[in-house]
Chain A
Amino acid sequence: MSQLFTPKNAERKIFRLAIFQDGIWDMQIGGMIVLFSFYPVTRRLLGPGWNLVLIFGLLGFLLAIGAMLKRNVSNPRMGLVKYGKKQKSRLLTMRLIIFGIFLASSTLAIALILQVFRGPDWGAKTPEWLQMLDMDIVFGLFVVAIFSLVSVVFRMWRPFIYGLLLGGGLVASGALTVFGGPEFQYPFAIAGGIILAIGLGIFLHFVRTYQIPVEEA
């Protein structure tokens, strides 16, 4: 069924075109995930200090590339939009909710580290795999929740699928690490790689589909 043309749906379409149509968002998310999945390896090779420098340096590079593509490739093809007060406040609310979910899951993770919820018989009653993976499951659910929210707000399936991929990748990577698997987080990296590839595909399709318009005489 086609969507009704209402101001609300018009607003959603504006957001989708302005933020998601060119695939840059997807490439940045995928790139970041791939980057973070190398974290344990580079940490061992470089030590914690230099590793942070490397990771944040590459993260900055990734964001700069994204901004450059947006400015020089996407904007001339898609154009620009200045949001009204309502849109700005909606985007801000969404960011605040995402931050809230992040804060809640971090608090939960810290509580798990400090064993707040673990009663005296935690070890006896809880399966071993859950004891080992509780943090990964919390962060996995947090990732799924955030991407689902984005999916619902913009009425798009893509972020939801990314959430499932990343959440699943996080838990699977945690399981591999805990149970003596490889140091490199393959599942997380593969999830990031898939998102990066999807983003690249969307970007190439975008560049082919949306030519820079030439003013008619």
Chain B
Amino acid sequence: MVNPETQDTELHPLTNIDRVIHAPARLMMMTYLYVVESVDFIFLMRLTGLTWGNLSSHLSKLEEEEYVNIEKQFIQKKSHTMVSLTEKGRQAFREYKQLLLQVLTDLPE
């Protein structure tokens, strides 16, 4: 946490980081979702290596923030829970990337 007496938002850009995305599991999920149109719940579970419960809880968090859209779809006569990034989620992910780049780009060796 930043000391309120010395708080200066310009010099502490990381305080503005999106903590919903910043968690490693959710960052991984967002990265995978960013590069596809949509995946079903099982495929996302295989990709991330998370358990059903873990994935569900992280997805709920992302859904609360309206970063992902979760909907049941019938594909080849079978029901699939498809997950995709919303436009808000994409924008948040781009901003997150910009912020990290800004912090890390000029880091001395």
B is a partner of A: yes
Dominant SS among interface residues on chain A: helix
* Residue contact A5 to B53, C-beta cutoff 8 Å: no
Q: Does B14 contact A (CB under 8 A)?
A: no
* Residue contact B35 to A7, C-beta cutoff 8 Å: yes
CA distance A81 to B75 in the complex (A): 11
Interface residue total, chain B, C-beta cutoff 8 A: 26
Interface residues of B in 35-77 (CB under 8 A from A): 35-47, 51-53, 56, 75-76
* Residue contact B39 to A82, C-beta cutoff 8 Å: yes
* Residue contact B43 to A81, C-beta cutoff 8 Å: yes
* Residue contact A87 to B52, C-beta cutoff 8 Å: no
Query: Which residue of A is nearest B97, CB measured?
Result: A7
B36: chain A residues at CB < 8 Å are 14, 81-84, 87
B residues with CB within 8 A of A:
28, 31-32, 34-47, 51-53, 56, 75-76, 78, 80, 82
Q: How far is the CB of B84 from chain A (nearest CB, A)?
A: 8
B53: chain A residues at CB < 8 Å are 216
CA distance A29 to B37 in the complex (A): 28
Interface residues of A in 131-166 (CB under 8 A from B): none
Q: How far is the CB of A63 from chain B (nearest CB, A)?
A: 16
Given contacts A80-B75, A216-B53, 17 further A-B contacts (CB under 8 A): A7-B34, A10-B35, A13-B47, A14-B32, A71-B76, A77-B42, A78-B42, A79-B40, A79-B42, A79-B46, A79-B80, A80-B42, A80-B43, A83-B36, A85-B37, A87-B35, A216-B56
Smallest CB-CB A-B distances: 7 pairs: A79-B43, A79-B42, A82-B37, A80-B40, A79-B40, A216-B52, A84-B37
Q: Does A18 contact B (CB under 8 A)?
A: yes
